[in-house]
Structure 1
Amino acid sequence: MKSHSSTLLAEVRSFRQNHPDVRYVDLIALDIPGHFYGKRYPVEMLEKVAAGSPLKLPQNAVLLGAQGGLFKIGDYCFNDGDPDANRRLVPGTLKPVTWESQPLGQMLITSDGTQAPIEFEPREVLAKVLERLQHQGIHPVVAFELEFYLFDKQLDNGLPQFARDPLSGDADDQPNLHIERLSRFNDVLDDMAQTAKDQGLDITVITAEIGPGQFEINFGHCDDGLRAADWAALFCRSTRGVALKHGYRASFMAKPYLQFPGSGMHVHVSLYDAAGNNLLAAHQQQPLRHAVAGCLELLPHCMPIFSPNHNAFRRLGGTVNAATRASWGFEDRDACVRIPDSDPRNLRIEHRLASADANPYLVLAAILAGLEHGLEAKREPIAPLNEDRNSGADFPLEMLDAVRAMQQQPVLRDKLGAEFVDVYCENKRQDHLAFQQEIQAREYRWFL
């Protein structure tokens, strides 16, 4: 513990020395809907926390709805006295914030690894899954890919407008994969990439996607699942900030345009033993088939995680590469679980179903739970799409159906924690009901 404090203290002191103009640091964590919450600390107080002073925030901040409100979930929020819970600093995440008007720092905080972790905190859920796999001698290597849209900074009566081409000044309203779009939007994309690297994120490939103003960012493969999810979460925060600085809005919304492709969160996962052998490639890739079967079995019960809001369900079965059934295939982007072509050393699954605005900690936890279940159950998967284009299992396409499917699934309750499943499902149910409570102009047009 003393060594841990010494490492943190050295990190804070080094940061202060390298960034003497920074007076405040945002201590941030991801809540259930995938939004950052936290506190802004004077940097000198952060040094005291690093030295061992307690860091406490309300436990129920994790339970905030999509609009920041609190829902009654069991005894939480309204019958528990709204208690504080201990958090800790995440080493290696203290970085400068360069997109704000004033010098600022930020650092991740979490309850995992504290004396009493919050069972429903997303990072803690993933930490428990990774710890259990480690005890079994299973070491995941993970890489996220995130798609997002750029919009004009100004909204039109609340609706997004196409991003303006910096070269022509015209709306970038033509869907394409042209490399020239990367050149035309080079200034903002380059700033996003450099800012991400300054945050310690290992980003690699940038792609112009099919949708107008749509791009994809790839991250390097990481042998620390928590860090890989940290990268995805932090990239969303920095990218939105950098976009505003350049006169755009960046959004990871799942389906901003009905007529154009949605934005997904693709996750590559391979599994290794302590000696570095790829577990999925052993015995003529039989473990790969078992792992796929486990993923597909749990997938219909994980839909509130993969599609965490009303808009995310609009993305499914859309224009390009978004399935409506649980399926798998080799080199097939229509499948939920794709097996990219690779040598045995790098054999992996690519899970393609989650929306870009899903919580990366929970998405990875759900995927790993499916892989673990498959390796334990040792069942054969359904036929791949390469053999049968109609192969697949149905999954819920509406939030309340999805919540019911998730809440009663015994394997999922065991793998992710029953308390988390109950809290998460009620949070999603309440968010969905709250969304329905506003009458839109369309209702008046149809029914008045």
Structure 2
Amino acid sequence: GGGSGGGAAALNGAVPRTLCKRLLKALEDEYGLRFLAASELEFSVARRGARGAWEPACDGPEIFTTLQQTKLASYTYAIEEAMAQVGVDVRTMNCEYGAGQLEITFAPKLGVAAADAASTYRLGVKELAQQRGWLATFMSKTFSLDGPGNGGHFNFSLWRARTEEDAVPPAAESDSIAALTAGLVSAMHDGAAPDGLSPTAKSFLAGVLLHAPAIEAIASPTPSCYMRHGRWAPTHANHGPDDRLAAVRTKAYPHSTRGGATYFELRMASASANPYLLIAAIVAAGIDGLRRSLPAPPARQSGAEGAAA
């Protein structure tokens, strides 16, 4: 039409990337916090069999075996090379538990760049498979409803500007993280706390858990996503130290100076989630927890309700 463009400008606020940037800016403006994150996106690869039907590109379960990975080496190395050209730093590549299932992890990034990396990675994985006449999909369930699903575990941490009162930190976990966090210090670490988590970390976590049902709608956007439940996919809004069955796995180091290694892993997300909307949802929930100074609930007890549906 011949309108003034006001409608398009209004719609811009609903663009996932714009929304993500707005929430990240609110987090920094209100609390001086920067958001460092990285996704772990599993996917399945299929190619045509002798009769023309789609079949897993490799067998399963052969998790972490180089024999299986070698079958797809030309493809995975092509992904690594392509990602390097667009600024996505691949860290690991391995076969997963399911047939045709792979996981390639990459280094964390600050702010919206973390979502950019996840989006670029997913597109690259699909395009490079397509060039070979293959099919790559991040759909939660592919070859078997009984087999493992494609998860999208999301790791994140909060950082603030360093002050004169802050102790000089030990060497960072990696050179890339050191470069990203230069002049920053973990806002989540409290070495004197029994659980190693600061009040900021606990209130942010409390907000995420309070709004977990709403986050799940974004983290698991398709019916297929809910077929993951009961197989290493959490069904309860809980957390626990290094707990792979909890909705949020906490990695903290009490009585330690490893503040920079403190982070949360949201384990409820599927690989199908829009990374921009996922970050926006997490940050919005966390901000609510900070504004209300919410206390974090007790950690999940080992053997209690968690992943099993």
How far, CA to CA, are the matches of 1:83 and 1:315 in structure 2? 46
Secondary structure of 2:304's aligned partner: coil
Equivalent position of 2:69 in the other structure: 182
Equivalent residue in structure 2 for 1:231, among 98, 101, 117: 117
The structure whose RCO (Cα within 8 Å, separation 6+) is larger is 2
What number of residue pairs does the alignment pair up? Answer: 276
1:173 offset after TM fit, Å?
A: 4.4
Q: CA 1:187–1:197 in 2, change beyond 3 Å: closer, same or farther?
A: same
1:348 offset after TM fit, Å?
A: 0.9
How far, CA to CA, are the matches of 1:156 and 1:82 in structure 2? 53
Checking the alignment, whether the CA contact within 8 Å between 2:28 and 2:34 is kept in structure 1 is: yes
Equivalent residue in structure 1 for 2:185, among 277, 299, 303: 277
Checking the alignment, whether the CA contact within 8 Å between 1:85 and 1:118 is kept in structure 2 is: no
1:141 offset after TM fit, Å?
A: 1.0
How far, CA to CA, are the matches of 2:268 and 2:251 in structure 1? 15
Q: CA 1:391–1:220 in 2, change beyond 3 Å: closer, same or farther?
A: closer
Any stretches of 5+ residues in structure 2 without a counterpart?
A: 163-183
Equivalent position of 1:313 in the other structure: 226
Equivalent residue in structure 1 for 2:240, among 307, 313, 329: 329
Equivalent position of 2:22 in the other structure: 128
Q: CA 1:162–1:287 in 2, change beyond 3 Å: closer, same or farther?
A: same
Equivalent residue in structure 1 for 2:87, among 173, 177, 200: 200
Query: 1:101-116 to 2 correspondence within 5 Å?
Result: none
How far, CA to CA, are the matches of 2:300 and 2:109 in structure 1? 29
Bigger mean CA deviation after superposition, 278-287 or 135-144: 278-287
How far, CA to CA, are the matches of 1:227 and 1:131 in structure 2? 13
Q: CA 1:357–1:391 in 2, change beyond 3 Å: closer, same or farther?
A: closer
Which amino acid in 1 is paired with 2:239? W
1:82 offset after TM fit, Å?
A: 10
Equivalent residue in structure 2 for 1:138, among 9, 29, 33: 33
Q: CA 1:345–1:361 in 2, change beyond 3 Å: closer, same or farther?
A: same
How far, CA to CA, are the matches of 1:265 and 1:233 in structure 2? 12
Whether 1:212 and 2:125 are equivalent positions in the alignment is no
Q: CA 1:380–1:198 in 2, change beyond 3 Å: closer, same or farther?
A: same
1:361 offset after TM fit, Å?
A: 0.3
Query: 1:36-55 to 2 correspondence within 5 Å?
Result: none
Q: Which has the larger radius of gyration?
A: 1
Equivalent position of 1:288 in the other structure: 201
Secondary structure of 2:126's aligned partner: helix
Report Cα offsets for 1:296-353 as digits up to 9, x if no partner: 1011122220111111121222x2x111111211111111101135522221111111
Secondary structure of 1:242's aligned partner: helix
The runs of 4+ residues in structure 1 deviating greater than 3 Å are 81-86, 153-157, 173-177
Which amino acid in 2 is paired with 1:126? C
Checking the alignment, whether the CA contact within 8 Å between 2:251 and 2:261 is kept in structure 1 is: no
How far, CA to CA, are the matches of 2:92 and 2:18 in structure 1? 29
Checking the alignment, whether the CA contact within 8 Å between 2:61 and 2:96 is kept in structure 1 is: no
Equivalent residue in structure 2 for 1:246, among 108, 125, 132: 132
How far, CA to CA, are the matches of 1:262 and 1:380 in structure 2? 33
Equivalent position of 1:340 in the other structure: 251
Equivalent residue in structure 1 for 2:211, among 298, 309, 319: 298
Checking the alignment, whether the CA contact within 8 Å between 1:153 and 1:244 is kept in structure 2 is: no
| Cα RMSD, aligned residues only | 2.8
Report Cα offsets for 1:349-394 as digits up to 9, x if no partner: 11111110110000111112222222222222333224561379xx
Secondary structure of 1:266's aligned partner: strand
How far, CA to CA, are the matches of 1:249 and 1:82 in structure 2? 42
Which amino acid in 2 is paired with 1:129? L
How far, CA to CA, are the matches of 2:12 and 2:286 in structure 1? 24
Checking the alignment, whether the CA contact within 8 Å between 2:245 and 2:306 is kept in structure 1 is: no
1:229 offset after TM fit, Å?
A: 0.5
Q: CA 1:243–1:378 in 2, change beyond 3 Å: closer, same or farther?
A: same
Which amino acid in 2 is paired with 1:162? P
Checking the alignment, whether the CA contact within 8 Å between 1:332 and 1:386 is kept in structure 2 is: no
